[in-house]
Amino acid sequence: MDIHEYQAKEILAKFGVTVPQGGLAYSPEQAAYRARELGGDRWIVKAQVHAGGRGKAGGVKLCNSEHEIQDATNEMFGQKLVTHQTGPEGKGIYRVYVEAAVEFDREIYLGFVLDRQSQRVMIVASSEGGMEIEEISAQRPDSIVRSTVEPAVGLQEFQAREISFALGIPSSLTQQMVRTLQGCYRAFRELDATMVEINPLVVTSDSRILALDAKMAFDGNALFRHPHVAELRDKSQEDPREARAADRGLAYIGLTGNIGCIVNGAGLAMATMDTIKLAGGEPANFLDIGGGATPERVAKAFRLVMSDENVQAILVNIFAGINRCDWVAEGVVQALKANPVDVPVIVRLAGTNVEEGQKILAKSGLPIIRANSLMEAAERAVTAWQNDRKQNTKMRAV
Ligand code: ADP
Ligand code: MG
C-alpha cells in the first residue's frame, strides 16, 4: 500500500528524520492560509498523488505570494496529474501540501528496498539526488552506494557513517546523516514497509540534512499489525476495480486484454495469463480468488471480472487440492444462475473430485465450455472470444 508524501514525512519525522515545516490543504483558500501559518515569503506547493515525477509534470510549484499559491492550486485541484509513473490516465489531485521553500547546496538520493537475493533490507544511495534512480543508474552508476543491513543487529552506527562518507557528506554533518539513515531503517522495519525513498535528501545552505521528498510503501499483508498505517489508505489514488476487489478480499489487477481470468492461487493465475498469451489472446486481469473458492467468492469474482467492459470471454481455472472440484463447480453454476453473463465462459477443473465437478457443470444446462488441460482451456477461450467478436461485428454491420 502506498501513502502520500506528507504522510510519509510525518512518519519519518517521528523516527528522527528532519523534514521542512508544512501544512496540508484541501482547497486553494486553505493552501493560502497554510502559507500564512508557516510564515516566510517563498513556498513550495506540492500535489499529493501516489506517484513520483510530480516536479516535471507540473505538480510541484514555487510560489512567492499567497496570490500565486491560490493561482497554482486553483489549477491543480480536481485535475489529473500525469507523470511517468501514473500511466496515461493520471491520478486525481484532491490534496496539496504547502511547504516552506528551502535553499540547498546538494541533493542526495536515498532509498531502502528489500533485496530478494540477500533477503535483507538494502540501502541504495547516491550523491546525484534529484534525478530518478533509473536515470542515476543509467547516467552515473559509479555514484551509487549499496549496503545491506544485517537484520539481527539492525543498521549500526559505523555502517551508517560509512555510507555518509561514501556520499561525501561533510564530517560536521555525519551525525545528522547517521540519525537520518537509522531513522529510515527503523521506520522500515518497525512498520513493515516495503520501500522508503527520500529523493532528494538535501544539505541546506545553513548546513542541515533535510528530507524534501518522501515516499513509503507498506506490505499489505502486514497492515493488520499497524492500524495507524492502514488508516492512511487513500482510495482516490487506486484503480477503482482493484480497490473494490481489495475490499472483498480478492487479489485483482486490471489489465488491458479481453479474456477475464478467475483462478485460485497466484502462481496458477500467472501461468493462466501466460497460457492465454501463448494461445494468441490477451488477459483482461489477474485474479486470485484464494484457496477456499466458495460459491460466494466465485460469484463475487464473476461480478468483479464482468465489471470490466472489455471482457469478452471468461476463463475459470481451478486446481482443487484442499478444495474440491464439485464444490467449485457448484459455485460456478450458482453464480452463473444468479447473475447470468453474456460472454462465453470456459471452465477447467483439475484435482480432487474432478469427475463429480465435470458432471455438475454438464448437468447444469448452462452453456459452459469445458476443458481438461490449461492449454486447451486457453485455446478455447481465445477461439470463443474471437467468434464472439466476429458475431458482434456482424451484428453491428446488420
Ligand atoms: P517529485 O519527486 O514527485 O518530482 P519532489 O518532492 O522531489 O517531487 O519535488 C521535486 C523537486 O522540487 C525536488 O527535487 C526539489 O528540487 C524541489 N523541492 C521540493 N520540495 C522543496 C522544498 N520544500 N524547498 C525547495 N525545493 C523543493
Ligand atoms: Mg522526488
* Predicted confidence (pLDDT) per residue in 179-227, tens digit: 999 999 999 999 999 999 999 999 999 999 999 999 999 999 999 999 9
Characterize the bridge pairing of strands 104-115 and 43-47: unpaired
Same domain, 122 and 184: yes
89 classed as catalytic: no
Query: How many Å lie between the centroid of ligand 1 and the Cα of residue 223?
Result: 29
How far is the C-alpha of 265 from the C-alpha of 318, rounded, in Å? 8
- On whether residue 395 sits in a domain, the answer given is no
Quick one: DSSP state of residue 361? H
State residue 184's pLDDT score: 98
Characterize the bridge pairing of strands 215-218 and 209-211: unpaired
Task: Copy the grid coordinates of residue 293.
Answer: 473458492
Whether ligand 1 lies within 6 angstroms of the CB of 200 is answered as yes
333 lies in which domain range?
240-388
The distance of Cα 376 from the centroid of its chain, to the nearest Å, equals 33
Angle among Cα 82, 88, 90 to the nearest 5 degrees reads 40
* Predicted confidence (pLDDT) per residue in 226-279, tens digit: 999 999 999 999 888 888 887 777 889 989 899 999 998 899 999 999 999 999
* Predicted confidence (pLDDT) per residue in 161-185, tens digit: 999 999 999 999 999 999 999 999 9
How far is the C-alpha of 157 from the C-alpha of 169, rounded, in Å? 15
pLDDT over 60 at 377, yes or no: yes
Same domain, 40 and 187: no
Same domain, 233 and 244: no
* Predicted confidence (pLDDT) per residue in 15-30, tens digit: 999 999 999 999 999 9
Angle among Cα 301, 305, 307 to the nearest 5 degrees reads 120
Query: How many Å lie between the centroid of ligand 2 and the Cα of residue 65?
Result: 23
Quick one: DSSP state of residue 79? P
Same domain, 130 and 84: no
71 has binding-site annotation: no
Same domain, 267 and 360: yes
Same domain, 250 and 382: yes
Same domain, 197 and 253: no
Same domain, 259 and 141: no
* Domain count along the chain: 3
Whether ligand 1 lies within 6 angstroms of the CB of 61 is answered as no
How far is the C-alpha of 337 from the C-alpha of 39, rounded, in Å? 64
Same domain, 82 and 142: no
Confidence of residue 398 (pLDDT cuts 50, 70, 90): very low
3-state secondary structure of 117: coil
